[in-house]
Structure 1
Amino acid sequence: MLLLLFILPHFTRANFPEDPQPINIVPDDVTQMYSAFVGQESADSSAERQDVSIKLLTVMDKTLYVGARDNIYAIDLDSPHTEGVYFSKEKCHNYIKILLKRNDDTLFVCGTHAYNPTCRNYKIGTLEQEGDDIKGQGRCPYHPDADNFALFSGGNLYTGTISDFTGIDAVIYRSLGDSPFLRTAKQNSKWLKEPHFVHAFEHSDYVYFFFREISVEYHGVETVILPRVGRVCKNDKGGTMAVLDKQWTSFVKARLDCSIRGDSHFYFNLLQSVTDIIVIDGMDIVLAVFTTPKNSIPGSAVCAYKMEDIEKAFAGKFKEQKSSHSIWTAVPDGEVPMPRPGGCAGSGPLEGYASSNVLPDDTLNFISKHSLMHESVTTLNHKPWFQQTTIREHLIKITADSTAGPAKDYTVVFIGSETGKITKFLARTEKSETLDGSLFLEQMNVYNPDKCDYEGKSDRRIVDLQLDKEHGALFVAFSHCIIRVPLGNCQRYGTCKKSCIASRDPYCGWFDGSCVQVLPNAEGEFEQDIKHGNTDGMDDC
């Protein structure tokens, strides 16, 4: 608390940005009309509700799959959903924690299974089980509320989870494919220290993963939690029998810096949610939402990172602690063995080595003790694209559409809060007086108590977000319902051209005398002014 009191005066100056204000706030009487899924097969609202306990959403082949308690729900996105959201389901007797497309025919599903994690393969379309159950340890968490990630790459399953019942053994694990099964070092705090896994994706030769963990480099009276990005090589085959046997030889991680700069930086350190890679202005970019701890100054922020900058951090200096009582410092270049550790066999510094299991012991020993990089990954433009520091509620989920608008040349970001609100902003990498990184388009409260309350209780925390671009919708998941939100609330402006243009919403365009939602592949000339919202000469409504 003394630290917070010391930092706060530095940010009472004009250089601390004010919270942006939305161009539009969608009224509750509009959002309460959105269609909803509640896991109820009967249209009779008086029928007994199930405890659906939704955990995740994923869109595949024009179907929205819902991982919930005891069931997988499949929602046909081509069906009209004007009043309700209709579905088929398959019983699993689980809290579903993984829903992945394994191949064109197979859906891979894992659940907690009464603290005995279990995985299965299902036929896409029919949800009929294929083959026997698969042991879920190291692939799926034991507890339904535990954070985890999973993805398939090259037929291999990459997972980040807790691999034991006690919750001690956190692991990043590769299994099920033709490559050797590999994991992070067991209960080694320099590799992972009580991580909360957030997201993962593949890019080029690597699998990248995002998480937050207790810092080992800042140890003192208080626990410091820091956000990380890590990576492993897809062609990693593990080390030798003597060093890193059946463990990653390419595991490295770096801190993500999301902060407001001043005399002292104001950090957003709790990583909450991350997008896949999106392309903006020709750059591969990742967006992430961060918060401050609950007992500190309230704050949330969205920061953008170029993959190029992430790679620079991994190509930079390693970090080390000489002894248990010394501070962490950069490893001098002369003390890093050759070939340089942390890369992929067959490329870069390791080009002369066909496989990781023939690397010199010096290289393997070094990377086993030096997984942390010295430099942090800085955010694009050295500041958040969006921040909120005067409201106590936190932003916790994010998704982005980098091909919004008639010409598919705008990026719109949707952020979900812990109180059921959706924040929508326009993101740009270029600086200008009109945009300066982002434009706060819209805010709406999409939680519907009539449809989402269960047994008299409201759980307004947004669990997941999934875009359905083809049908112009965003699916917002809560514990006991899913709300289908239109990407653009264009019907609100009706035949008022001035309001339509002033909204500056890429999803809304003036066409044939009314404001309409711009769907992908829509034909016609839509009148918009996203950059300026110029309404000169237009009549008031």
Structure 2
Amino acid sequence: MSLLQCLLFQLGSYFILCLAGMIPWTEQSQDVLAFPMKQRYPVFYLYSQDKLYVGGMNVLYFMDFTTMEVNKTVINKEHPRCGDTKNCTIYVTLVGQLEKDLLVCGTVETMPACWKLKENTIQQYTLADEFSPRTPETNNLVLITGNEVYSTNNGKTVKNIFKKIHGKKPFLYTGDDLMKNPHYIKALVVDSEEEVQDKILLFFIEDNENVRSTEKRISMVARMCKNDPGPSKLSAYNRFSTALKSRMICGYPKAKQYFPYLQDVFMLKGKEKNLIYGLFTNAWNHSAVCSYNLLDTEKTFDSSSLWRAPKTNLPISPGTCLQGNRTPEATFDRASEFPELQDWIEPSGKEAVFQNSSHYRKIVVDEVEALDGNSYRVILLATAGGTVQKIVEIDDGVVSVLKMNPFNETKEIIYLTLEPKMHLLYVGTNAEVTRLPLDDCTAYNETCEDCVRSRDPYCSWTENGCQSILKQRRGSQNITHGVDTTCSGQSDFKRRKNNSSLTRLVSENATCITRNSTCTCTLILEEMQRSIPCVALKRSVNVGNGCAAHSQQLILIALLFMGHLKLIFLFFGL
């Protein structure tokens, strides 16, 4: 059968999609809780696996996914800074747990303030200035770890510093020269077997003032000892003495293709190793995901020389965590003057996990053990268009297994977090929050082939359909190849759900996101929503950036949809 004959075959009943594999699309989740009023600057805090707090304007919402109820606590407007103003506005900027109490901080008419929530009663809290910025739109970062708090909010000053503001003394801060006009992304705590070796990683984007690259802004990570005692230098007694930084690289060095702008960070504490995942974009808002082995990152900080620093002997290496003793003055001076590493932080495998033309905003990563005994990492990405994409890492790249549209209306996703014990994904907008079980297999619940071909590590085919392996570890599953001979001869398991979980077949915007993968075209029966391979179109070729190798087929598809059959014949010279 010729290519043209194949395309025209039963044209009235078929339509064509260029697919990077068949990617199911699920519609709205049933576990959706809406805010009584939309919030311009909502902040979220996952309190437990089924309870969430959301701070807004003059209000704190409590979302209970067990009872599916929303309760609200009004933030007291009778604050001294409000005076007699009836329209005094309080924007919540921080919700978190501190010293067994729920801490709520915000800005009251451009002045920071904090409260504690006890027995559903909001109470004034004395600490405030460095817990909240003065305006809700200000880029800021607050890290709460145990009873210690670190912040980039600096009260009435405008210095770009990261400092400890609560907990065990000393209250240290970074020097003025560590960061150049930073935009903060996230701060993480890296625990070690010895408490003295615990670290803080601070991720940010800053102005590029060096000559090693041409970008105006670059992505950086700074590392400092969590229990840094400070330097022995009297004039800098309250400075972090172990703070160093390095540039984070994400892209494909061989192709000289880089994604310089860090969007989000997630640390996966995996079964075999701990990984840091970074979500990056480029000037065209295309996205790439890179993973960094935490041990390799630590080795880079421990072994790299300092960029432009003179090569002279020091009492100890810069960045060394000491037990009890303060950092020697000579070491502190060197690190303070030359805080940047010569070596950059490179991703595992020296290249990105994958890239895509989609604009992703948020990332979390889960890990699950499949029926073959192997652990698979599952990447969840929130797009600018309000969808969530589920991607599985395999040996030779990644597989996109599912797209989810969690809400009825298209809204920008501003919150994405994972509850790893129960494998629950929480997704939030400025109007509502939903909870998505990652082991929901209804999107592939048509046939054995659909279930196994999905390559979703949470799902396997049983006599009851496509089921979660977290509830019952048995059935047919093949993550590596997506095929299983046990499916042969089995009758289709037809099961239609209500509209909230109806599955549709959609294209992946003609983008192949798997390394060393193929982009093929498939005929799809519209009425039955079943795939029928077209042999003439199965010309598999390696692709690096989408389906460019199938440009003729794509042009043909566009023409066919528009009904220009004459142009089709002209295109092929018929």
The TM-score, its normalising length taken from structure 2, stands at 0.72
Q: Give, in whole Å, the separation in 1 of the partners of 2:420 and 2:227.
A: 34
Q: Match for residue 82 of structure 1?
A: none
C-alpha separation between the residues in 2 aligned to 1:376 and 1:154?
31
Amino acid at match of 1:63: K
Distance in 1 separating the partners of 2:98 and 2:489: 53
Is 1:399 the counterpart of 2:369 in the alignment? no
Pick from 494, 514, 521 the counterpart of residue 465 of structure 2.
514
Could you tell me which residue of structure 2 aligns to residue 21 of structure 1? Answer: 20
**1:95 partner SS:** strand
Cα pair distance change 1:164/1:178, threshold 3 Å? closer
Cα 1:366–1:463 change in 2 (3 A) is same
Letter in 1 for 2:386: G
Distance change in 2, residues 1:266/1:493 (3 Å): closer
Conserved 8 A contact 1:218-1:224: no
Equivalent residue of 2:242, what SS? coil
1:262-301 equivalences in 2 (<5 Å): 262-263=254-255, 265-279=256-270, 282-292=272-282, 296-301=283-288
1:262, 1:61 → 2: CA distance?
A: 43
Unaligned runs of 5+ in 1: 1-18, 41-48, 80-84, 321-328, 347-353, 450-457
**Offset of residue 290 of structure 1:** 0.6
State the shift of 1:382 in Å.
Answer: 1.2
SS at match of 1:65: strand
Note the C-alpha offset of 1:302. 0.7
Corresponding residue to 2:106 among 94, 108, 111: 111
Paired with 2:252 and 2:215, the residues of 1 have a C-alpha distance of: 21
How far apart are 1:267 and its partner, in Å? 1.3
1:341 and 2:318 equivalent? yes
Which residue is 1:410 aligned to?
376
Matches of 1:75 and 1:398 in 2, distance apart? 22
Instruction: Name the CA distance, whole Å, in 2 between partners of 1:376 and 1:251.
Output: 16
Structure 2 distance, partners of 1:23, 1:51, is 37
Instruction: Give 1:178's aligned amino acid.
Output: K
Distance of 2:19 and 2:217 partners within structure 1: 27
CA–CA separation in structure 1 for the residues paired with 2:112 and 2:384: 28
1:529 lines up with 2:529 in the alignment: no
User: Following TM superposition, by how much is the alpha carbon of 1:533 offset from its aligned partner in structure 2, in angstroms?
Assistant: 1.4
Q: Flag the structure with more relative contact order, 1 or 2, with Cα contacts below 8 A and sequence separation at least 6.
A: 2
RMSD after superposition = 2.8
Aligned match for 1:355, one of 309, 312, 325 = 325
Alignment correspondent of 2:54: 66
Query: Partner of 1:247 in structure 2?
Result: 239
Q: Which runs of structure 2 are paired with 1:167-182 in the superposition (5 Å)?
A: 168-182=158-172
Are residues 1:423 and 2:427 paired? no
Quickly say closer, same or farther: Cα 1:223–1:162, change in 2 above 3 A.
farther
> 1:90: which partner in 2?
73
Instruction: Give the AA of the match of 1:58.
Output: L
Match of 2:454 in 1: 503
1:381 CA drift (Å)? 0.9
- Structure 2 counterpart SS, 1:117: strand
Deviates more, 1:208-217 or 1:439-448: 439-448
Task: Verify the 8 A CA contact 2:259 2:280 in the aligned structure 1.
Answer: yes
The reply to whether residue 232 of structure 1 matches residue 224 of structure 2 is: yes
Amino acid at match of 2:336: S
Deviation at 1:471, TM superposition (A): 5.6
Q: CA deviation at 1:472?
A: 5.2
Structure showing greater Rg: 2
**Alpha-carbon distance between aligned partners in 2 of 1:240 and 1:379, rounded to the nearest angstrom:** 36
Secondary structure of the residue aligned to 1:253 is strand
SS in structure 2 at match of 1:112: strand
Given the alignment of the two structures, is residue 443 of structure 1 paired with residue 403 of structure 2, yes or no?
Answer: yes
Unaligned runs of 5+ in 2: 1-17, 76-88, 193-197, 493-574
Matching residue of 2:427: 476
Distance 1:152 1:315, change over 3 A: same
Paired residue for 2:138? Answer: 146
Distance in 2 (CA, whole Å) between partners of 1:72 and 1:245 is: 39
Distance 1:130 1:483, change over 3 A: same
Q: CA-to-partner distance for each residue in 1:263-295, whole Å, 9 max, x for gaps?
A: 5x2111111111123215x12111110111xxx
Is 1:206 the counterpart of 2:199 in the alignment?
yes
In structure 2, the CA distance between the partners of 1:231 and 1:530, relative to structure 1 (3 Å rule), is same
CA gap of 1:20–1:474, structure 2 versus 1, over 3 A, is farther
SS in 2 for 1:142: coil
**SS across alignment from 1:208:** strand
What's the secondary structure of 1:136's corresponding residue? Answer: coil
Instruction: State whether residues 504 and 528 of structure 1, in contact with CA within 8 Å, keep that contact through their aligned partners in structure 2.
Output: yes
Percent of residue pairs identical: 25
Please say if residues 59 and 468 of structure 1, whose CA atoms lie closer than 8 Å, have aligned partners that are also in contact: no
Does residue 383 (structure 1) correspond to residue 346 (structure 2)? The answer is no
CA drift at 1:467: 2.4
SS at match of 2:330: helix
* 1:301 CA drift (Å): 0.6
Q: Secondary structure at the match of 1:403?
A: strand
**Are the counterparts in 2 of residues 289 and 301 from structure 1 also a CA contact under 8 Å?**
yes
Letter in 1 for 2:74: K
**Residues 250 and 367 of structure 1 are in contact (CA less than 8 Å); yes or no, is this contact kept in structure 2?**
yes
Contact 2:172/2:240, CA 8 A, preserved across alignment: yes
Aligned partner of residue 315 in structure 1, secondary structure? helix
Q: Matches of 2:212 and 2:389 in 1, distance apart? A: 36
Contact 2:129 2:155 (8 Å CA) reproduced: no
Match of 1:315 among 291, 295, 302: 302
Amino acid at match of 2:24: I
Q: Choose from 149, 158, 169 the match for 1:157.
A: 149
Shift of 1:305: 0.3
Pairing 1:216–2:209 present: yes
374, 392, 395: which one aligns with 2:342: 374
Does the CA-based 8 Å contact 2:292-2:347 persist in structure 1? Answer: yes
Q: How many residues align?
A: 453
User: Distance in 1 between the 2:266 and 2:285 partners?
Assistant: 23
How far 1:150 sits from its partner (Å)? Answer: 2.6
- The 3 A distance-change label for structure 1 pair 96 and 318 is farther
Residues 1:99 and 2:99 aligned together? no
